[in-house]
Amino acid sequence: MKDKKILRVILIYFLSILFAFLVISIIVSIFGYNVIKVLKTLLTTSFKTTFGFQETIKKTIPLIFTTYAYTIPFMIKFFNIGGWGQMLFGGTITAVVGLTLPYLGINFPSYIMIPLLIVTGILAGGFFGLIAGFLAAKFDINPIISTIMLNFVAVQFLNFIATNPIYRDPFEGHPITLPLPKSGTLGFIYGVPVSIIFAIISIIFVYVLIKKTKLGYEITAIGHNLDAAQKFGINFQKTILTTFFIAGALAGLGGTFEVINIHKKLIEGFAQTSGAQYGIFGVLTGLIVAGDPVGVPIAAFLMSVLLVGADALQRTMQIPVEMVFLSQALIVLFIVTFRERFLRRT
Residues of this chain that bind another protein (CB under 8 A): 2, 212-215, 217-218, 220-221, 224-225, 227-229, 231-235
State how far the alpha carbon of 157 is from the alpha carbons of 138, 290, 296, in Å: 25, 31, 29
Q: Are 42 and 313 in contact (CB under 8 A)?
A: yes
State which residue, 34 or 213, has the beta carbon closest to another protein. Answer: 213
Q: Name the 3-class secondary structure at 267.
A: strand
- Round to whole Å and give the CA distance between 288 and 74: 12
- Round to whole Å and give the CA distance between 318 and 321: 9
State which residue, 174 or 212, has the beta carbon closest to another protein. Answer: 212
Least Å from the CB of residue 243 to another protein: 16
State which residue, 148 or 221, has the beta carbon closest to another protein. Answer: 221
Least Å from the CB of residue 224 to another protein: 4
In degrees rounded to 5, what are phi and psi of residue 168? -65, 145
- Bridge partners of 193, per DSSP, are 188
Least Å from the CB of residue 232 to another protein: 4
Least Å from the CB of residue 237 to another protein: 12
State which residue, 140 or 318, has the beta carbon closest to another protein. Answer: 140
Least Å from the CB of residue 227 to another protein: 5
Q: Are 130 and 248 in contact (CB under 8 A)?
A: yes
Closest CA to 282 of 88, 126, 137: 88
State which residue, 9 or 145, has the beta carbon closest to another protein. Answer: 9
Least Å from the CB of residue 214 to another protein: 6
State which residue, 218 or 268, has the beta carbon closest to another protein. Answer: 218
State how far the alpha carbon of 68 is from the alpha carbons of 73, 254, 295, 309, in Å: 9, 10, 10, 23
